[in-house]
Amino acid sequence: MERNDRESARMGTLRQLAQALGVKTTDLMQTGPIEAPLAPEVDPAGILAIRRVITPTRGLGRVAHADDVHDAPTITGVRASVREGNRLYQGDDYAATLGALPSVLTEAAQVAELAKGEARLAALEVQAQAYQLAGSTLIHLRHDDLAYQALNRAIDLAERSGNQVLGASAVVSLCWLLLRQRRFDEAEDVAVATADAIEPSFRHSTASHLGTWGWLLLRGSAAAVRNNRTPEADEMIRQAKAAAVLVGRDVIDYHEYWTTFGPNTVAMKEVENAMVLREYGKALQLSGQVTAPARSTSNNRNRHLLDLAAAHTEQRDHAPATEILMSIKRAAPEWLRYQRYARDIATTLVTRRKRGLPPQLVELADFLAVEL
């Protein structure tokens, strides 16, 4: 890197350099010259349809909305549509989720525009949930700028509805996006500030409230540990664990606040932090605390399994690493297809075994587009 032979490094390498130099990881993340793209990017049809709703064309004095539906929607119908879209997303059916989102967002906007009084506040909440669904789907499909606009809209709608916890849930998704973009300072700052704003009463708050607060701390911890701020990361994990103890078990709340939170969720994030610190043996040891990963969302459960596969790979225990990747492929192939982390693990496994690759590894390499 000093000789300019490479212009970038893996995040783990940057974090180790930051640790040796006594600085934050973000201090080392300087960018080189920006090259113009070879050709303009064109959205695939599914993304273009949702872009038309999230970023409508406009002229002076009016906004040209996406195609209107003919029958006036009801809040009950829109709420059911959001739940169905959420079910598709949690089931890793991203094509169907994208297909549903334009009409869901349009109907949610129409209901909110027509509702009055208390009904309007409820309609704004449902509209916020629809935009958070859109934002999370777009993050997963790596359309970051469009995802940011959707989540920004979700936070704004939740604030207008007066539901702070719902807005904070959208901030949890926004922090996920910031982490993906390596904006660690911003992710930690907004996670901590939002957690402070909704700090629950540990005696009287609902599991959903505690879960949203806990997830903000988990996002803040993830940002801090990647930014060479390990003590801060550990403290946020400790606080999240206290909230998880009160919840008692992992509570699934997809439909209202997009949270699944409890002891297993926190345990999986402890494993993730250990992996960031390259403490592979500790990560495998901590994984013993995860007693019921099937109660977590597909994203979190499978991300945890990728951590275990990576830990085994780093320990040169290749057979269990391969089997874990295969188990994810069998259970959630569409999710796995979008994971660069999985591709990195498979690349390492292939590189170390150039001769006599087992059939499972050949299958994984083909599926993840890893060169043999």
Confidence at residue 4, expressed as pLDDT on a 0 to 100 scale: 59
Confidence at residue 157, expressed as pLDDT on a 0 to 100 scale: 97
What span, in angstroms and rounded, lies between the C-alpha atoms of 245 and 264?
A: 10
DSSP three-state, residue 327? helix
**Residue 62 pairs with which residues in a beta bridge?**
59
What span, in angstroms and rounded, lies between the C-alpha atoms of 342 and 363?
A: 13
For the beta carbon of residue 246, count every other beta carbon within 10 angstroms: 14
Alpha helices in 55-183 (DSSP H): 75-90, 94-114, 117-140, 144-161, 164-180
Confidence at residue 52, expressed as pLDDT on a 0 to 100 scale: 92
Q: Compute the radius of gyration of the chain from its Cα atoms.
A: 22
Confidence at residue 8, expressed as pLDDT on a 0 to 100 scale: 56
Q: List, in order, residues 6 or more apart from 76 with CB less than 8 Å away.
A: none
Confidence at residue 30, expressed as pLDDT on a 0 to 100 scale: 57
Closest CA to 27 of 209, 233, 185: 185
Confidence at residue 201, expressed as pLDDT on a 0 to 100 scale: 84
Confidence at residue 310, expressed as pLDDT on a 0 to 100 scale: 96
Burial class (CB in 10 A: 0-12, 13-18, 19+), 135: buried
DSSP three-state, residue 265? helix
Which two tokens mark 360? 């499972």
Burial class (CB in 10 A: 0-12, 13-18, 19+), 354: exposed
Confidence at residue 188, expressed as pLDDT on a 0 to 100 scale: 98
Q: At what angle do helices 263-276 and 207-226 cross, to 10 degrees?
A: 0
Cα 236 to chain centroid distance, Å, stands at: 18
Long-range contacts of 201-209 (CB under 8 A, 24+ apart): 202/242, 202/243, 202/246, 207/247, 207/251, 207/253, 207/261, 208/165, 208/251, 208/253, 208/256, 208/257, 208/259, 209/165
Confidence at residue 122, expressed as pLDDT on a 0 to 100 scale: 95
Confidence at residue 295, expressed as pLDDT on a 0 to 100 scale: 45
Per-residue pLDDT for the chain (372 aa), expressed as one digit of tens each?
A: 666 555 556 666 777 787 788 887 767 765 554 444 444 466 777 899 999 999 988 777 765 554 544 567 899 999 999 999 988 888 888 889 999 999 999 999 999 999 998 899 999 999 999 999 999 999 999 999 999 999 999 999 999 999 999 999 999 999 999 999 999 999 999 999 999 999 998 778 888 899 999 999 999 999 999 999 999 999 999 999 999 988 877 666 545 545 678 888 999 999 999 999 999 999 999 999 887 554 445 788 899 999 999 999 999 999 999 999 999 999 899 899 889 999 999 999 999 876 778 899 999 999 999 987
